[in-house]
A = this chain, B = another copy of it.
């Protein structure tokens, strides 16, 4: 506690006390005076020591949490985050996902790596974008609609686009109603809007664990209590899910049933049916975040929950970023009737409407079937990469490093032996021109752990083998170097 005793706040200098307190604690964390994973003093205690209101301490802790210095564990207090995780997260959040993840350009801009091997990104590279086709449809819209392409658009979305999407969904056996379709500016906005509509301060939501970082951030922004349910190779752990449902009333369960991010796992038929039944039994919604099911690959397992949802319990989010172009900033949701008005008004509060120009252009793109040609190209390309990647991982990875072959999609979930840190491995690899996403980013507490995600979206087929070999050698070196002097890391235990 000595470090906290030494904090002095100046009530007269005009800066909010909580910001002063935030800065003081931040400095203590950064300087290493307060160690990672140590607990911050209880609120009243610190308020007493510093002779300030409880509210001041609460606000400072909240700010520390938002800025990624600490994390809260329900019922046990506030803890200092691992600073490696924070540094990596900072690249992701503040300098953009892209820097580490989805945009090699940005990474280059930082001058770190000129020929980075990018296993981090899940977005296609610009050379795969159908820019010429899209340029043509944009010009077609501008010639056809003139200024009308730039007027206020309905918040729900441009009607002809919703009609095209309705058609497109039939190809995936999803029955929809044009009026249940809500256009959004990307899947992240969809998650954010749903959170706004359904989650109030302190409400509970369930997620798979690990899960998509951006969803965790959106749920935290409404101060939701997030309960993580482990995911296995055949989908969410149903027993754990049912146990939690007996004790908690989540507003929804957020899942990616096909080629899950980050694990690449796909739900079995049984699990798809079970989770729908549980949602009915416990009267909750399922948010199905579908970013890839269009890429069907080998089998027909990648059908969506929405296609078998008879109870209108699935809120379906479809992104076009991962198969088309991330910069499109266009996605859609299918919204159950019971919550429709609420979601629409949250969309209105968020940004009023999504770009009319882009909606009109994408409408033509879908309507004329240009979309299908692109999907088939991407399917062929990614399928080849996925197979090559599987082959190379088999050949090169050390035997004590575990992974499974995904049914499709883009992601491989790799596990180092117990006690090894993927944050540390990340540091070694990024210095040597290879990036991926460390597992810490996919958990609520962002604690360092032994897992990491490799994606094939930004690696050309003919570079895969050599890249995996290089990565495997670095892993081998890392495991050997860490063998001595390494303080074993706790194996990750899901929160709650």
Residues of A within 8 A of B (CB): 14-16, 19, 62-63, 66-67, 93-98, 101-103, 105-106, 123, 125-129, 131, 134-135, 138-139, 142, 146-155, 185-186, 188-189, 192, 196, 200-201, 214, 217-218, 221, 223, 280, 283, 311, 325-329, 338, 341-342, 344-346, 348-358
Q: A280-B14, A325-B147 are in contact. Are A98 and B348 (CB under 8 A)?
A: no
In the complex, how many angstroms separate the beta carbon of A249 from the nearest chain B beta carbon?
A: 9
Asked if B150 and A351 sit within 8 Å, CB to CB, the answer is no
Once the chains bind, are A186 and B351 in contact (CB under 8 Å)?
yes
Q: Which residues of B contact A327 (CB under 8 A)?
A: 149-153, 355-357
Residues of B within 8 A of A338 (CB): 15-16, 19
- Known pairs A131-B142, A147-B126; A152 contacts B66 (CB<8 A): no
Q: Are B123 and A148 in contact (CB under 8 A)?
A: no
In the complex, the answer to whether B129 meets A147 with C-beta atoms within 8 Å is yes
Known contacts A97-B152, A192-B349; 5 additional CB pairs below 8 A are A16-B338, A97-B352, A150-B325, A150-B327, A188-B351
Sample of 13 A–B contacts (CB below 8 Å): A93-B155, A102-B151, A103-B151, A103-B152, A123-B152, A126-B151, A131-B142, A138-B138, A151-B327, A186-B351, A192-B349, A327-B357, A355-B358
A147 to B328: give the CA distance in the assembly, Å: 11
- The interface residues of chain B lying within 8 Å CB-to-CB of A351 are 185-186, 188-189, 192, 329, 350-351
Contact of A154 among B95, B152, B155 (CB under 8 A): B95
Task: Give the distance to chain B from A337, nearest Cβ to Cβ, in Å.
Answer: 11
Contact B135 A142 (CB under 8 A): yes
Contact of A63 among B127, B342, B357 (CB under 8 A): B342
A286 to B: closest C-beta gap in Å:
15
B105–A186 CB distance below 8 A: no
Closest-by-CB residue of B relative to A330 is B355
Pick the most buried of A93, A131, A135, A349: most chain B CB atoms within 10 A of its CB: A349
Q: Nearest CB to that of A184 among chain B residues?
A: B351
**Structural contact, B154 and A352, CB atoms closer than 8 A:** no
Q: In the complex, what residues of B have CB within 8 A of residue A96's CB?
A: 152-155, 348, 352-353
Contacts A94-B345, A355-B355: A126 and B154 contacting too (C-beta < 8 A)? no
Q: Are A189 and B94 in contact (CB under 8 A)?
A: no
**Partner pick for A218 among B66, B98, B214, B349, CB 8 A cutoff:** B349
6 tightest A-B contacts by CB?
A: A126-B147, A150-B327, A98-B152, A150-B325, A129-B147, A103-B152
Q: Beyond A142-B131, A327-B355, A338-B19, is A348–B152 a contact (Cβ under 8 Å)? A: no
In the assembly, what is the distance between CA of A100 and CA of B135, in Å?
33
Most B CB within 10 A of own CB, among A94, A139, A188, A350: A350
Given known pairs A201-B223, A283-B14, the reply for A350 and B188 (CB within 8 Å) is: yes
B329 A354 Cβ-Cβ under 8 A: yes
Which residues of the partner chain B approach A93 to less than 8 Å between Cβ atoms? Answer: 155, 344-345, 348
Alpha-carbon distance A185/B300, docked complex (angstroms): 38
Q: What is the minimal beta-carbon distance from A319 to any residue of chain B, in angstroms?
A: 11
Contacts of A325 in B (CB 8 A): 147, 150-151
* CB–CB B349/A214 < 8 A: yes
Q: Are B192 and A283 in contact, CB atoms less than 8 angstroms apart?
A: no
